[in-house]
Structure 1
Amino acid sequence: MTLAMNSEYHDNFQSVQAVAGEKLGRADQRSLFDRLEWLRHLHELCLPGHKPLIVQSAEGDAQAWLFLMKKGLGRYTALANWYNFTYRPIFAGDYDEVTKLALLATIAKTLSSHSHRVEIAPVPEEDLTASLTERAFEQAGWLVFKSKADDNHILSINGRTFDQYWADRPGRLRNTVRRKAKKNIVSIRIETEFSEEHWDDYLDVYAKSWKPEEGNPDFLKNLAKREAEAGCLRLGLAYIDGRPVAAQFWTVENDEALIHKLAHVEEATKSSPGTLLSVAMFQRVIDVDRVKIVDFGTGNDSYKREWMEDVRPRYRLEMFWPNNPLSWLSILRYHMSALVGKP
């Protein structure tokens, strides 16, 4: 089957909105990280120094989009940062797997006339996105090097209640919760609406925690407001004597709970407010919101293994255009690394 493809570039989000309409909005894109609203605010507040390069291909009603940013002469990377759980090409409209591959290959061909290197991460594979992207770029003539970028820890509920899930947790964790809860020192609230007062409590906890300084508090605040308006915010706060000592920022949508941020005040550690708050948050999303998956994002922090049960890989795809001399040294280095057994 031959598809009549067309492709074009965009360097601003207004023109993308004009072309995509609502196809990159909440109603059509299930994943938070695939929405134009997420990408626009991420660039505006977190990545303003990087010029966007947005490539789109279309065939009939079907569209494919790749949101990149410039990192050097002829070099582009994913328009993403540490706030992203995933990054991938975005598809919209009416398409099947054959169309997706053809649309993405068209984007890859278009990129070859303007770029010699494209790097994207963290790309998921449970929906075969990493393999599809690798195949499309190779079909277009690029050399693709695929490597593991990170791990994604998740919990599949599989129809369990919270009590059934909790019974499977490590004994040490359950004993800690039982002992600390008996003391009745920590009070907990879970907010679904945004308020400046509660957000200030979240910021206060984060500032006094072990966490490094927040990359961009305004980005997270705007995200919390938008998700609250959509009914998706779950902001957990724990208090001791009226003082905030633990905070967690989750969102819930489309049967999934995403754990974006969590922190606790170090001097309150002996009361385990963060652990008690986690219990309340998991109980809420499992028994009340009835999610099917809880997603703890990327990273291999040891505490995630106590709460999660499965790990999904996240990949980095590095694509080089072999006809451009600027790619040759990098390609040679990759081949030499493979010969000596280095990743």
Structure 2
Amino acid sequence: MTRWQSAPLRGGLGSHAERWDALNQRIGGNHPLLDSRFVDALLQHFGRGDEHLFWLEQHGQLQGMCILRPHSRMRWASFLPPQLQLGPTLVAERAQLEGLCRSLPAGAVQLDLLCNDPLVGGVNAVTRPLQLHSNHALTMQVTLQGSFEDYWSARSRSLQSNMRRYQKRAVTDGLAPRYTEVSDPAEVGEAVARYAALEGASWKGREGTAISHGGQLPFYQNVLVEAAQQGHGRVYELWFGERLVASRLVLARGSMLVMMKTAYDAEFARYAPGRLLLHDLLRRAFSQFAGQVIEFYTDADQNLLEWGTAQRWIQHDTLYRYSAVEALAKLRQVLGGQQRQRQALANGRYTVDAIGSVEALPDDARACIEQAGQGSSDAGCDWYRNLIETVMDCDDVVRFYVLRRDGLVQAVLPLHAVQHSGGWQLHALSNFYTSLYQPAFNPCLKAADLLVLLAAVQRDFPGASHLTMKPMDPSSHAYQVLLDALRKLGWLPFEYFSFGNWFLTTDSNWPAYLAARPGAVRSTLKRMGRKFSQAGGTLEIVTGGARLPEAIAAYEAVYAHSWKVPEPYPAFLPGLMRLCAAQGSLRLGLAWLDGKAVAAQFWIVRNGKAMIYKLAYDESAKPYAPGTLLSAHLMQHVMEVEQVQEVDYLQGDDPYKQLWMSERRERWGIVAYQPRTLAGLAGALHETIGRATRRLRQRERAHPPRHTGWRRALPEQ
């Protein structure tokens, strides 16, 4: 472990500014909000004098820097005044943070690294022991690629229609809209002052958060005027006649523009002046800043997300100095869980419905599930129906929990519950056929929202001891918000590796793809293809129609004569094949030899993605390598005919998958225990002890003792 060094800051980075900017260039991409001039202005105007700069050097090279301040004697946190939406933390890899907490002054046991952007540095990598992260705000960006016309045509129809209506209304009512862009340094200061007056008259002024309060106005004027002198500061305005009705403060550096502040006159709300200004700003930006990106750094709602080309969560990260401190923090959450459950259930804005079947789901919940399952082989209402009918035991209790806020669906969580030893165990509505479990969550859903749904689940299944969610994408919004909500509700969640997932991103260039395969694969295809053809072998792909029953029977016959163990739920796969055929996504490949199917592969093609679900071959035909030939046949088909962008091998790290795929990702699971139950407490203790033991063994293997035996003492002379 390498120790970080530190130095107190007195109103700025001082002599460290040059190194800070070099690191920002290397790690942060010359981020405007991490530029030393912007950071210095923040420290000068809003610093309290207790800020410290920490830095890490390894092998003579600067590896990381961050600005921290004490929150209390035992807890430190990022320097983060309200004017900064991005934590001042620059590290390339999360592993570099391991020594940071232990480098704090004696007595400090917790470190909160706030507002970390997954696109800036490596803070938001996969969590490790003694680390915890939670979603804070959903931000968005607009990438200025192509033309504004192409960008705008890709927006939702409702957004385009609404904007036409607002524009027409403003003109029809004689308001004479006028858009201005202020970039002259001599004029920017006054434009910021106008912004402050506009914002001060809004609800922000009434709540005391406008920049006209708390000495903020001089800060924004200084920052933007200085930036304008270098061509990086702008103020965009919308006027109705001689009245300012909307304004945006924008800071630009490198290849990025940051929306710092926005305000509009609520008296003209029926014209949506803020939206009108944003539309004009983006139109200008596509020509003035082509190829760059606009970052909003806001907590976007669904309406604002319609403007974005990408979105992501800004996260808070907490590091603990000792495992005992982490355990105490978890205990505190457990003790507050019941109170949070009562508060969640008492919130009148939310309703939770528990639906017992797919057929009973209301239309809005169905639409939410279908949208979440786009591009997946194992999501959607029909998938769940087939799973319930062919796999679930009659004693299993199936529930689709539907969360609404103000009448609008925010989440649908499919679960099944099983009674075990007199208590309930809760599970995702999935099993080993599921390659990716995807709850249907609104992109804006936060842990505080999901808390209401989970509280209802806990109420419906009193005494439930544990909940398991798998397999999931550990980087997904659903995974992170589930973890955070379970902690807040007083459960003890643990993450675990489920399986590896090999996939291929393709440009559908079959010859190039084939040429990149290992020589042994190409040789096998050439030799066995000729041998198979000379023996009268044929390959076909069945998508449905009259051939479907025979094709399914052939698949089952091949599977029965393969090396694979029999399916425990024999009705599931035929049901899924018929379902996919009805949807037009079935690609059932068959290899025939002497009138007999000798290899079969079940692929699903949907929304530009091909998923390899099941494959098998008859052992008696192994000398012809029918499985390899069929894989190549289907791969060529999905590339040249279907023009897919991705091929997914779904589950497992089998060596043969690496011959066909080039990329790997992981699927993880969550098991959460309710420590207020005896079984849950026992499970949490068992999990904790087991993980601690494994970490100790790994540490011993990594650092074995120097002398494993005894050494005989030399006789005295």
What TM-score results when the alignment is normalised by the length of structure 1? Answer: 0.91
**CA distance in structure 1 between the aligned counterparts of 2:612 and 2:454, rounded to whole angstroms:** 33
Count the aligned residue pairs.
Answer: 337
Please give the secondary structure, in 1, of the residue aligned with 2:554: helix
Determine the structure 2 residue equivalent to 1:53. Answer: 399
Determine the structure 2 residue equivalent to 1:330. Answer: 683
Q: How does 1:42-81 map to 2 (within 5 A)?
A: 42-49=387-394, 50-59=396-405, 60-71=407-418, 72=420, 73-81=423-431
Return the letter of the residue paired with 1:70: A
- Counterparts in 2 of 1:3 and 1:259: CA distance versus 1, 3 Å: farther
**CA distance in structure 2 between the aligned counterparts of 1:34 and 1:103, rounded to whole angstroms:** 23
Q: How does 1:239-250 map to 2 (within 5 A)?
A: 239-250=592-603
Alpha-carbon contact 2:365-2:412 (below 8 Å) kept: no
Structure 1 residue 335: deviation in Å?
2.0
Aligned match of 2:474 in 117, 125, 137? 125
Q: How does 1:249-328 map to 2 (within 5 A)?
A: 249-328=602-681
Determine the structure 2 residue equivalent to 1:221. Answer: 574
**CA distance in structure 2 between the aligned counterparts of 1:339 and 1:222, rounded to whole angstroms:** 44
Return 279-288 or 162-171, whichever deviates more. 162-171
Determine the structure 1 residue equivalent to 2:515. Answer: 167
Return 71-80 or 2-11, whichever deviates more. 2-11
Match status 1:151 vs 2:495: no
Structure 1 residue 176: deviation in Å?
0.7
Structure 1 residue 134: deviation in Å?
1.0
CA deviation map 1:301-320 (0-9, x unaligned) = 22111111111111110112
Aligned match of 2:530 in 147, 160, 182? 182
Alpha-carbon contact 2:398-2:415 (below 8 Å) kept: yes
Determine the structure 2 residue equivalent to 1:111. Answer: 457
Return 274-283 or 36-45, whichever deviates more. 36-45
**CA distance in structure 2 between the aligned counterparts of 1:126 and 1:285, rounded to whole angstroms:** 28
**CA distance in structure 1 between the aligned counterparts of 2:359 and 2:515, rounded to whole angstroms:** 50
- Counterparts in 2 of 1:86 and 1:29: CA distance versus 1, 3 Å: closer
Structure 1 residue 164: deviation in Å?
1.1
Please give the secondary structure, in 2, of the residue aligned with 1:150: strand
Determine the structure 2 residue equivalent to 1:16. Answer: 361
Return 15-24 or 32-41, whichever deviates more. 15-24
- Counterparts in 2 of 1:166 and 1:100: CA distance versus 1, 3 Å: farther
Structure 1 residue 28: deviation in Å?
6.6
Return 124-133 or 267-276, whichever deviates more. 124-133
**CA distance in structure 2 between the aligned counterparts of 1:130 and 1:197, rounded to whole angstroms:** 41
In terms of Rg, which structure is larger?
2
Alpha-carbon contact 2:562-2:619 (below 8 Å) kept: yes
* Paired-residue identity, %: 30
Structure 1 residue 189: deviation in Å?
0.7
Structure 1 residue 193: deviation in Å?
1.5
CA deviation map 1:192-241 (0-9, x unaligned) = 12421222211111111111112333222222122112211101011112
**CA distance in structure 1 between the aligned counterparts of 2:569 and 2:604, rounded to whole angstroms:** 18
Gaps spanning 5+ residues in structure 1: where? none
Aligned match of 1:139 in 472, 488, 495? 488
Please give the secondary structure, in 2, of the residue aligned with 1:203: helix
Alpha-carbon contact 1:121-1:315 (below 8 Å) kept: yes
Please give the secondary structure, in 2, of the residue aligned with 1:247: strand
Return the letter of the residue paired with 2:414: F
Alpha-carbon contact 1:106-1:140 (below 8 Å) kept: no
- Counterparts in 2 of 1:169 and 1:54: CA distance versus 1, 3 Å: same
**CA distance in structure 2 between the aligned counterparts of 1:5 and 1:268, rounded to whole angstroms:** 60
**CA distance in structure 2 between the aligned counterparts of 1:153 and 1:263, rounded to whole angstroms:** 18
- Counterparts in 2 of 1:199 and 1:34: CA distance versus 1, 3 Å: closer
Gaps spanning 5+ residues in structure 2: where? 1-298, 300-346, 699-717
Return 226-235 or 264-273, whichever deviates more. 226-235
Return the letter of the residue paired with 2:597: P
Structure 1 residue 255: deviation in Å?
1.0
CA deviation map 1:18-77 (0-9, x unaligned) = 67244434x673134221221122011111332213322112323312222223212111
**CA distance in structure 2 between the aligned counterparts of 1:284 and 1:6, rounded to whole angstroms:** 47
Please give the secondary structure, in 1, of the residue aligned with 2:432: coil
Greater relative contact order, per chain length (Cα 8 Å cut-off, separation 6+): 1
What TM-score results when the alignment is normalised by the length of structure 2? Answer: 0.45
Match status 1:82 vs 2:432: yes
